Amino acid sequence: MFGALALGAGGLMVREARSAAARRLGLVLAIVLAGQGAVLVYGAELRSYFASLCAVTLLVLALVLAWLEGAPGGPVRRRVLWGAMLAAFNLHIATSLIAGCLVAAFLGGALLRRDRVLLRWMLGPPLAAGVVLLAVTAVQAPLWEANTRAFWIPPGFFAARWTIQNEVTRMLLANGPALLGAIAGLALAALAALRERRRAPEVEAALLLGLGCAAGMAVLLAIHLALRPFVVERYLVGLAGPLVLAMALGLTALGKRLPRRGECALYAVVTGASLFALYGHMQATIAKAGWDGSARAVAAKVAACPDSPVHLDPQWNADVLALPPADNREVVRFAYRTMAERFGFRIEPAASRRVSATCPTLFWAEHGTRIRPEAAQVLAAERARGFALPGLTQEWIGVGWVAEAPPLR
Protein backbone atom coordinates (compact mmCIF):
# COMPACT_ATOMS: atom_id res chain seq x y z
CA MET A 1 0.00 0.00 0.00
CA PHE A 2 2.79 2.44 0.92
CA GLY A 3 4.66 1.55 -2.27
CA ALA A 4 1.59 2.02 -4.45
CA LEU A 5 0.80 5.39 -2.85
CA ALA A 6 4.40 6.56 -3.24
CA LEU A 7 4.59 5.47 -6.89
CA GLY A 8 1.27 7.12 -7.64
CA ALA A 9 2.18 10.39 -5.93
CA GLY A 10 5.61 10.48 -7.53
CA GLY A 11 4.15 9.68 -10.94
CA LEU A 12 1.62 12.51 -10.65
CA MET A 13 4.36 14.95 -9.66
CA VAL A 14 6.65 14.15 -12.58
CA ARG A 15 3.69 14.10 -14.97
CA GLU A 16 2.80 17.60 -13.82
CA ALA A 17 6.41 18.77 -14.40
CA ARG A 18 7.03 21.09 -17.33
CA SER A 19 9.94 19.24 -18.96
CA ALA A 20 10.62 15.77 -20.33
CA ALA A 21 13.90 15.83 -18.36
CA ALA A 22 11.99 16.03 -15.08
CA ARG A 23 9.77 13.12 -16.10
CA ARG A 24 12.84 11.10 -17.05
CA LEU A 25 14.35 11.91 -13.66
CA GLY A 26 11.35 10.37 -11.87
CA LEU A 27 11.58 7.19 -13.93
CA VAL A 28 15.33 6.81 -13.32
CA LEU A 29 14.77 7.43 -9.60
CA ALA A 30 12.21 4.60 -9.45
CA ILE A 31 14.47 2.20 -11.38
CA VAL A 32 17.56 2.82 -9.23
CA LEU A 33 15.59 2.89 -5.98
CA ALA A 34 14.13 -0.55 -6.77
CA GLY A 35 17.62 -2.05 -6.44
CA GLN A 36 18.07 -0.78 -2.89
CA GLY A 37 18.01 -3.53 -0.26
CA ALA A 38 15.77 -1.46 2.00
CA VAL A 39 12.95 -1.42 -0.56
CA LEU A 40 12.13 -5.13 -0.61
CA VAL A 41 13.52 -6.17 2.78
CA TYR A 42 11.89 -3.35 4.71
CA GLY A 43 8.71 -3.63 2.67
CA ALA A 44 8.44 -7.26 3.75
CA GLU A 45 9.84 -7.07 7.28
CA LEU A 46 9.83 -3.49 8.63
CA ARG A 47 6.88 -1.69 7.14
CA SER A 48 7.06 1.53 9.16
CA TYR A 49 10.65 1.99 7.96
CA PHE A 50 9.51 1.33 4.39
CA ALA A 51 6.93 4.07 4.93
CA SER A 52 9.79 6.33 6.09
CA LEU A 53 11.70 5.53 2.91
CA CYS A 54 8.68 6.40 0.75
CA ALA A 55 7.95 9.64 2.63
CA VAL A 56 11.50 11.00 2.49
CA THR A 57 11.87 10.02 -1.18
CA LEU A 58 8.68 11.89 -2.13
CA LEU A 59 9.75 14.83 -0.01
CA VAL A 60 13.13 15.25 -1.72
CA LEU A 61 11.66 14.59 -5.17
CA ALA A 62 9.22 17.48 -4.67
CA LEU A 63 12.04 19.77 -3.48
CA VAL A 64 14.37 18.80 -6.33
CA LEU A 65 11.73 19.25 -9.02
CA ALA A 66 10.99 22.72 -7.68
CA TRP A 67 14.70 23.51 -7.56
CA LEU A 68 15.31 22.35 -11.14
CA GLU A 69 12.36 24.32 -12.49
CA GLY A 70 12.99 27.35 -10.28
CA ALA A 71 9.29 27.41 -9.40
CA PRO A 72 6.99 25.75 -6.84
CA GLY A 73 4.98 23.93 -9.48
CA GLY A 74 1.34 22.94 -9.52
CA PRO A 75 -1.15 21.77 -6.88
CA VAL A 76 -0.10 18.12 -7.05
CA ARG A 77 3.47 18.91 -6.02
CA ARG A 78 2.23 21.15 -3.21
CA ARG A 79 -0.08 18.45 -1.84
CA VAL A 80 2.57 15.75 -2.07
CA LEU A 81 5.08 18.01 -0.33
CA TRP A 82 2.68 18.63 2.55
CA GLY A 83 1.75 14.97 2.91
CA ALA A 84 5.31 13.69 2.60
CA MET A 85 6.58 16.32 5.05
CA LEU A 86 3.98 15.45 7.69
CA ALA A 87 4.75 11.74 7.32
CA ALA A 88 8.54 12.08 7.23
CA PHE A 89 8.57 14.30 10.32
CA ASN A 90 6.28 12.02 12.35
CA LEU A 91 7.13 8.36 11.65
CA HIS A 92 10.47 7.84 13.42
CA ILE A 93 12.74 10.24 15.28
CA ALA A 94 15.75 9.38 13.09
CA THR A 95 13.67 9.92 9.93
CA SER A 96 12.42 13.25 11.33
CA LEU A 97 15.99 14.43 11.88
CA ILE A 98 17.20 13.32 8.44
CA ALA A 99 14.19 14.91 6.74
CA GLY A 100 14.67 18.11 8.72
CA CYS A 101 18.32 18.36 7.67
CA LEU A 102 17.41 17.79 4.01
CA VAL A 103 14.74 20.50 4.12
CA ALA A 104 17.16 22.85 5.90
CA ALA A 105 19.71 22.33 3.11
CA PHE A 106 17.19 23.33 0.42
CA LEU A 107 15.92 26.27 2.47
CA GLY A 108 19.51 27.45 2.82
CA GLY A 109 20.02 27.04 -0.92
CA ALA A 110 16.91 29.07 -1.71
CA LEU A 111 18.07 31.75 0.75
CA LEU A 112 21.49 31.97 -0.91
CA ARG A 113 19.83 32.11 -4.32
CA ARG A 114 17.53 34.85 -2.96
CA ASP A 115 14.54 33.02 -4.35
CA ARG A 116 11.77 34.29 -2.09
CA VAL A 117 9.00 32.49 -3.96
CA LEU A 118 10.68 29.09 -3.57
CA LEU A 119 11.67 29.89 0.01
CA ARG A 120 8.07 30.66 1.02
CA TRP A 121 6.81 27.55 -0.76
CA MET A 122 9.33 25.34 1.04
CA LEU A 123 8.90 26.93 4.46
CA GLY A 124 5.23 26.26 5.24
CA PRO A 125 5.13 22.44 5.28
CA PRO A 126 8.18 21.89 7.57
CA LEU A 127 6.88 24.49 10.02
CA ALA A 128 3.50 22.74 10.25
CA ALA A 129 5.05 19.28 10.42
CA GLY A 130 7.53 20.52 13.02
CA VAL A 131 4.70 21.82 15.23
CA VAL A 132 3.08 18.36 15.12
CA LEU A 133 6.43 16.74 15.94
CA LEU A 134 7.04 19.09 18.88
CA ALA A 135 3.53 18.44 20.23
CA VAL A 136 4.05 14.68 20.05
CA THR A 137 7.51 15.01 21.58
CA ALA A 138 6.15 17.04 24.50
CA VAL A 139 3.83 14.16 25.37
CA GLN A 140 6.04 11.20 24.55
CA ALA A 141 9.57 12.36 25.47
CA PRO A 142 9.37 10.85 28.98
CA LEU A 143 8.29 7.52 27.45
CA TRP A 144 11.14 7.60 24.93
CA GLU A 145 13.61 8.33 27.70
CA ALA A 146 12.33 5.44 29.80
CA ASN A 147 12.11 3.01 26.89
CA THR A 148 15.70 3.59 25.81
CA ARG A 149 17.48 3.22 29.15
CA ALA A 150 18.18 -0.42 28.31
CA PHE A 151 18.96 -0.58 24.60
CA TRP A 152 20.55 -3.14 22.33
CA ILE A 153 22.41 -0.62 20.15
CA PRO A 154 26.19 -0.69 20.81
CA PRO A 155 27.51 2.63 22.18
CA GLY A 156 30.60 4.56 21.16
CA PHE A 157 31.92 6.49 18.19
CA PHE A 158 33.35 3.55 16.25
CA ALA A 159 30.16 1.48 16.46
CA ALA A 160 28.15 4.43 15.12
CA ARG A 161 30.71 5.37 12.51
CA TRP A 162 30.97 1.85 11.10
CA THR A 163 27.19 1.46 11.04
CA ILE A 164 26.79 4.70 9.06
CA GLN A 165 29.68 3.90 6.74
CA ASN A 166 28.50 0.37 6.03
CA GLU A 167 24.90 1.39 5.39
CA VAL A 168 25.73 4.38 3.17
CA THR A 169 28.28 2.30 1.25
CA ARG A 170 25.67 -0.41 0.73
CA MET A 171 23.20 2.17 -0.57
CA LEU A 172 25.71 3.70 -2.99
CA LEU A 173 27.01 0.36 -4.28
CA ALA A 174 23.60 -1.28 -4.69
CA ASN A 175 23.79 -0.34 -8.38
CA GLY A 176 27.40 0.05 -9.52
CA PRO A 177 26.65 1.26 -13.08
CA ALA A 178 24.26 3.89 -11.69
CA LEU A 179 26.90 5.20 -9.28
CA LEU A 180 29.61 5.40 -11.95
CA GLY A 181 27.23 7.02 -14.45
CA ALA A 182 26.06 9.51 -11.83
CA ILE A 183 29.61 10.57 -10.95
CA ALA A 184 30.44 11.02 -14.64
CA GLY A 185 27.22 12.94 -15.36
CA LEU A 186 27.60 15.34 -12.42
CA ALA A 187 31.27 15.91 -13.25
CA LEU A 188 30.46 16.72 -16.89
CA ALA A 189 27.59 19.01 -15.88
CA ALA A 190 29.82 20.85 -13.38
CA LEU A 191 32.62 21.28 -15.92
CA ALA A 192 30.21 22.57 -18.57
CA ALA A 193 28.73 25.06 -16.10
CA LEU A 194 32.18 26.33 -15.13
CA ARG A 195 33.24 26.62 -18.74
CA GLU A 196 30.09 28.47 -19.76
CA ARG A 197 29.86 30.47 -16.50
CA ARG A 198 26.31 29.48 -15.74
CA ARG A 199 24.40 27.65 -13.05
CA ALA A 200 24.02 23.85 -13.10
CA PRO A 201 20.72 23.19 -11.24
CA GLU A 202 21.18 19.40 -11.29
CA VAL A 203 24.64 19.72 -9.68
CA GLU A 204 23.29 22.20 -7.12
CA ALA A 205 20.41 19.85 -6.26
CA ALA A 206 22.78 16.88 -5.89
CA LEU A 207 25.07 18.95 -3.63
CA LEU A 208 22.12 20.04 -1.48
CA LEU A 209 21.00 16.41 -1.16
CA GLY A 210 24.52 15.41 -0.16
CA LEU A 211 24.75 18.27 2.32
CA GLY A 212 21.40 17.35 3.88
CA CYS A 213 22.44 13.70 4.20
CA ALA A 214 25.79 14.66 5.77
CA ALA A 215 24.05 16.97 8.27
CA GLY A 216 21.55 14.23 9.14
CA MET A 217 24.34 11.73 9.77
CA ALA A 218 26.17 14.27 11.95
CA VAL A 219 23.04 14.90 14.06
CA LEU A 220 22.41 11.18 14.55
CA LEU A 221 26.04 10.67 15.54
CA ALA A 222 25.85 13.54 18.03
CA ILE A 223 22.75 12.07 19.68
CA HIS A 224 24.43 8.65 19.75
CA LEU A 225 27.45 10.05 21.58
CA ALA A 226 25.80 12.65 23.83
CA LEU A 227 22.43 11.15 24.81
CA ARG A 228 21.77 7.50 23.95
CA PRO A 229 23.14 4.83 21.58
CA PHE A 230 21.03 5.78 18.58
CA VAL A 231 22.65 4.69 15.34
CA VAL A 232 21.43 1.42 13.89
CA GLU A 233 21.11 0.39 10.24
CA ARG A 234 17.35 0.58 9.79
CA TYR A 235 17.22 4.05 11.39
CA LEU A 236 19.25 5.31 8.41
CA VAL A 237 16.64 4.29 5.82
CA GLY A 238 15.74 7.94 5.25
CA LEU A 239 19.12 8.42 3.54
CA ALA A 240 18.32 6.00 0.70
CA GLY A 241 15.88 8.27 -1.18
CA PRO A 242 18.08 11.39 -1.32
CA LEU A 243 21.24 9.41 -2.17
CA VAL A 244 19.47 7.61 -5.01
CA LEU A 245 17.91 10.85 -6.22
CA ALA A 246 21.39 12.41 -6.37
CA MET A 247 22.47 9.44 -8.50
CA ALA A 248 19.41 9.86 -10.72
CA LEU A 249 20.34 13.52 -11.25
CA GLY A 250 23.81 12.48 -12.39
CA LEU A 251 22.49 9.73 -14.64
CA THR A 252 20.03 11.99 -16.42
CA ALA A 253 22.76 14.62 -16.79
CA LEU A 254 24.96 11.98 -18.45
CA GLY A 255 22.13 10.59 -20.55
CA LYS A 256 21.30 13.90 -22.22
CA ARG A 257 24.94 14.27 -23.25
CA LEU A 258 25.00 10.88 -24.99
CA PRO A 259 23.67 9.99 -28.44
CA ARG A 260 20.28 8.32 -28.45
CA ARG A 261 21.67 4.78 -28.62
CA GLY A 262 24.20 5.52 -25.91
CA GLU A 263 21.49 6.90 -23.63
CA CYS A 264 19.32 3.82 -24.19
CA ALA A 265 22.30 1.56 -23.49
CA LEU A 266 23.08 3.45 -20.27
CA TYR A 267 19.54 3.11 -18.94
CA ALA A 268 19.36 -0.54 -20.04
CA VAL A 269 22.53 -1.38 -18.07
CA VAL A 270 21.27 0.52 -15.00
CA THR A 271 17.89 -1.22 -15.20
CA GLY A 272 19.55 -4.62 -15.55
CA ALA A 273 21.72 -3.93 -12.49
CA SER A 274 18.65 -2.91 -10.46
CA LEU A 275 16.73 -6.04 -11.51
CA PHE A 276 19.72 -8.22 -10.62
CA ALA A 277 19.96 -6.55 -7.19
CA LEU A 278 16.20 -6.82 -6.70
CA TYR A 279 16.31 -10.56 -7.41
CA GLY A 280 19.09 -10.99 -4.84
CA HIS A 281 17.12 -9.04 -2.23
CA MET A 282 14.06 -11.17 -2.96
CA GLN A 283 16.04 -14.37 -2.34
CA ALA A 284 17.52 -12.93 0.86
CA THR A 285 14.08 -11.89 2.11
CA ILE A 286 12.58 -15.31 1.42
CA ALA A 287 15.50 -16.97 3.22
CA LYS A 288 15.05 -14.92 6.39
CA ALA A 289 14.25 -17.00 9.45
CA GLY A 290 10.66 -16.39 10.56
CA TRP A 291 8.17 -18.00 12.91
CA ASP A 292 6.65 -20.13 10.15
CA GLY A 293 9.32 -22.84 10.22
CA SER A 294 9.00 -23.84 13.86
CA ALA A 295 5.22 -23.35 13.87
CA ARG A 296 4.92 -25.62 10.83
CA ALA A 297 7.03 -28.26 12.58
CA VAL A 298 4.79 -28.11 15.67
CA ALA A 299 1.68 -28.42 13.49
CA ALA A 300 3.11 -31.47 11.72
CA LYS A 301 3.85 -33.21 15.03
CA VAL A 302 0.37 -32.43 16.39
CA ALA A 303 -1.20 -33.68 13.16
CA ALA A 304 0.76 -36.92 13.45
CA CYS A 305 -0.43 -37.43 17.05
CA PRO A 306 -3.38 -35.17 17.96
CA ASP A 307 -3.11 -35.67 21.73
CA SER A 308 0.29 -33.89 21.78
CA PRO A 309 0.11 -30.92 24.18
CA VAL A 310 2.03 -27.79 23.12
CA HIS A 311 3.58 -25.76 25.94
CA LEU A 312 5.27 -22.35 25.98
CA ASP A 313 7.76 -21.18 28.59
CA PRO A 314 8.24 -17.41 29.09
CA GLN A 315 11.82 -17.86 30.29
CA TRP A 316 12.98 -18.68 26.75
CA ASN A 317 11.88 -15.19 25.68
CA ALA A 318 12.92 -13.45 28.89
CA ASP A 319 15.35 -11.10 27.14
CA VAL A 320 12.68 -9.74 24.81
CA LEU A 321 9.95 -9.67 27.46
CA ALA A 322 12.18 -7.63 29.79
CA LEU A 323 12.85 -4.88 27.23
CA PRO A 324 10.85 -1.68 27.56
CA PRO A 325 8.20 -0.77 26.60
CA ALA A 326 5.84 -3.18 28.33
CA ASP A 327 4.08 -3.73 24.99
CA ASN A 328 6.78 -6.29 24.14
CA ARG A 329 5.20 -8.76 26.54
CA GLU A 330 1.88 -8.61 24.72
CA VAL A 331 3.46 -8.71 21.26
CA VAL A 332 5.31 -11.96 21.97
CA ARG A 333 2.19 -13.67 23.33
CA PHE A 334 0.18 -12.40 20.39
CA ALA A 335 2.77 -13.79 17.96
CA TYR A 336 2.58 -17.28 19.46
CA ARG A 337 -1.24 -17.24 19.42
CA THR A 338 -1.33 -15.97 15.84
CA MET A 339 1.00 -18.67 14.53
CA ALA A 340 -0.87 -21.40 16.41
CA GLU A 341 -4.16 -20.24 14.87
CA ARG A 342 -2.59 -20.00 11.42
CA PHE A 343 -1.22 -23.56 11.53
CA GLY A 344 -4.18 -25.08 13.34
CA PHE A 345 -2.93 -26.28 16.72
CA ARG A 346 -3.73 -25.34 20.32
CA ILE A 347 -1.35 -23.92 22.93
CA GLU A 348 -1.85 -25.18 26.48
CA PRO A 349 -2.81 -22.60 29.14
CA ALA A 350 0.11 -21.10 31.08
CA ALA A 351 -0.80 -23.04 34.25
CA SER A 352 -1.09 -26.40 32.46
CA ARG A 353 1.46 -29.13 33.16
CA ARG A 354 -0.23 -31.77 31.05
CA VAL A 355 1.97 -34.54 29.71
CA SER A 356 0.47 -36.99 27.24
CA ALA A 357 0.56 -40.70 27.95
CA THR A 358 0.08 -41.62 24.29
CA CYS A 359 1.69 -38.80 22.27
CA PRO A 360 4.82 -36.67 22.50
CA THR A 361 4.68 -33.57 24.71
CA LEU A 362 5.97 -30.52 22.85
CA PHE A 363 7.72 -27.39 24.06
CA TRP A 364 7.93 -24.55 21.54
CA ALA A 365 10.05 -21.40 21.58
CA GLU A 366 10.69 -18.74 18.95
CA HIS A 367 12.91 -15.70 18.57
CA GLY A 368 15.77 -17.36 20.44
CA THR A 369 18.45 -14.94 19.28
CA ARG A 370 20.17 -14.48 22.65
CA ILE A 371 18.83 -17.29 24.83
CA ARG A 372 19.82 -20.50 23.02
CA PRO A 373 19.40 -23.45 25.40
CA GLU A 374 20.47 -27.02 24.68
CA ALA A 375 18.19 -30.01 25.18
CA ALA A 376 19.59 -30.78 28.64
CA GLN A 377 18.92 -27.21 29.80
CA VAL A 378 15.37 -27.32 28.49
CA LEU A 379 14.73 -30.67 30.19
CA ALA A 380 16.06 -29.45 33.54
CA ALA A 381 14.12 -26.19 33.34
CA GLU A 382 10.82 -27.87 32.46
CA ARG A 383 11.22 -30.48 35.18
CA ALA A 384 11.82 -27.63 37.62
CA ARG A 385 8.53 -26.09 36.49
CA GLY A 386 6.68 -29.29 37.44
CA PHE A 387 6.63 -31.35 34.26
CA ALA A 388 7.14 -35.11 34.69
CA LEU A 389 9.31 -35.83 31.66
CA PRO A 390 11.26 -39.06 31.01
CA GLY A 391 13.60 -37.30 28.56
CA LEU A 392 13.64 -34.74 25.76
CA THR A 393 15.00 -34.11 22.26
CA GLN A 394 15.31 -30.71 20.66
CA GLU A 395 15.20 -29.49 17.05
CA TRP A 396 16.32 -25.97 16.04
CA ILE A 397 14.52 -24.34 13.09
CA GLY A 398 15.96 -20.92 12.25
CA VAL A 399 16.00 -19.02 15.53
CA GLY A 400 13.20 -21.13 16.99
CA TRP A 401 13.10 -24.65 18.37
CA VAL A 402 10.74 -27.49 19.22
CA ALA A 403 11.54 -29.85 22.10
CA GLU A 404 9.80 -33.22 22.21
CA ALA A 405 9.34 -35.46 25.26
CA PRO A 406 8.25 -39.09 24.58
CA PRO A 407 4.88 -40.42 25.78
CA LEU A 408 4.81 -41.53 29.40
CA ARG A 409 3.91 -45.12 28.50
Neighbouring residues of 358: CB distance < 8 A, sequence distance ≥ 6: 305, 307, 407, 409
Residue-wise pLDDT tens for the chain (409 aa)? Answer: 899 999 999 999 999 987 888 889 999 999 999 999 989 888 888 889 999 999 999 999 999 999 999 889 899 999 999 999 999 999 999 999 999 999 999 999 999 999 999 999 999 999 999 999 999 999 988 888 777 776 678 889 999 999 999 999 999 999 999 999 999 999 999 999 999 989 999 999 999 999 999 999 999 999 999 988 889 999 999 999 999 999 999 999 999 999 999 999 999 999 999 999 999 999 988 888 789 999 999 999 999 999 999 999 999 999 888 877 777 788 999 999 999 999 999 999 999 999 999 999 999 999 888 889 999 999 999 999 999 999 999 999 989 999 999 998 7
339 phi and psi, to 5 degrees?
-70, -35
- Give the CB-side neighbour count of residue 138, counting CA atoms within 13 A: 6
Number of Cβ within 10 Å of residue 196's Cβ equals: 9
- Of 37, 5, 26, 61, nearest to 242 by C-alpha is 61
Given a contact cutoff of 8 angstroms between Cβ atoms, the answer to whether 288 and 45 are in contact is yes
